[in-house]
Amino acid sequence: MNLNKLILKYLLLCEIQNNLDQKTLKAYRTDLEQFRKFMIDKNDFNSKENISEYICELKFKNYAIKTIKRKIASLKAFFSYLNNEDIIEYNPFQKIKIKIKEPFILPKIIPIRELSILFKYIYQEIQLCDNVSYRYKELIRDKALLELLIGTGMRISEACKLKKENIVYSRNVIKINGKGAKERIIPICYPSLIDSLRLYSETFSEELIKSDYFFINKRKNRLSSQSVRNMIKKYCLLTNIDLHITPHMFRHTFATMLLDQDVDTRHIQVLLGHSNIITTQIYTHVTSNKKDEIMKYKNPLSKININKG
């Protein structure tokens, strides 16, 4: 069996039949090509011993744990395909035990102080800016986008791919196409967020006529995730915020602040679009201040008349 041809055939299937996005396909291609090169001098790419040796090499290389897990997942998917298509008689991964413990990393959030500084700067610049300039329009867009991120917990990819028709002002909801083509509906009941989205729509009304997407750049193309990262970095420099803020930190901050206000984890799970509650529960580890407050002011002992004499 020619491993290179099998990989190319599999990637073509992933692109056409499974409709995977280009980012995922690129990762698959990179991971499987690395495996192919490792197997050049091996007699059998399908043997348990050779695959185990490859996994051991991944562990010894200076890869992040998440990268190793992704590479193994890519390989598992490939061998599952080979087995399902009867190209190989059995799937060797059924007999390979893999234990990779991923270190627990708390999600990073944006402190309220930094958020306030960021938005205050944008609000002030809007007031000072000439409302016929493109800079004014850019500020209006950035304000709407950042408020949407912190006000809904949307992923940056979801915000950038947001379609115009997915914002339903008559019902004050946003339809989000999340991971795995899963759709969820998020209420946008907060008045200032609704006003920001409407103002952006009005300000970019002419440009949006020729675009399917809601957030666009100067060339009337869909705003990219990298553009948003650069935009946040720019505002942090302008406001002297000494913190590396990423778009995903807005999502972490949204979830953590809801949890701090006693919102049930299951509701946060629905709002974030997590398929598994375990993914959402990571935020329970970053609310130590809330736990201290609960144990100090809401402790059952406070309700009991204990005789201290």
Catalytic positions:
155, 179, 248, 251, 274, 283
CA atoms within 13 A on the CB side of 304: 6
Tokens of 220: 């009337």
Contacts of 156 (CB under 8 A, 6+ apart): 149, 225, 228, 229, 247, 248, 251
Give the C-alpha separation, 120 to 122, whole Å. 6
**CB-count burial class (<10 Å; 0-12, 13-18, 19+) for 3:** middle
CA of residue 227 relative to chain centroid, distance = 15
Give the C-alpha separation, 106 to 92, whole Å. 35
CA of residue 31 relative to chain centroid, distance = 21
Give the C-alpha separation, 266 to 284, whole Å. 12
H-helix segments, the chain = 3-16, 22-38, 48-60, 65-84, 112-128, 134-152, 156-160, 191-203, 205-208, 225-238, 247-260, 265-272, 277-280, 288-297
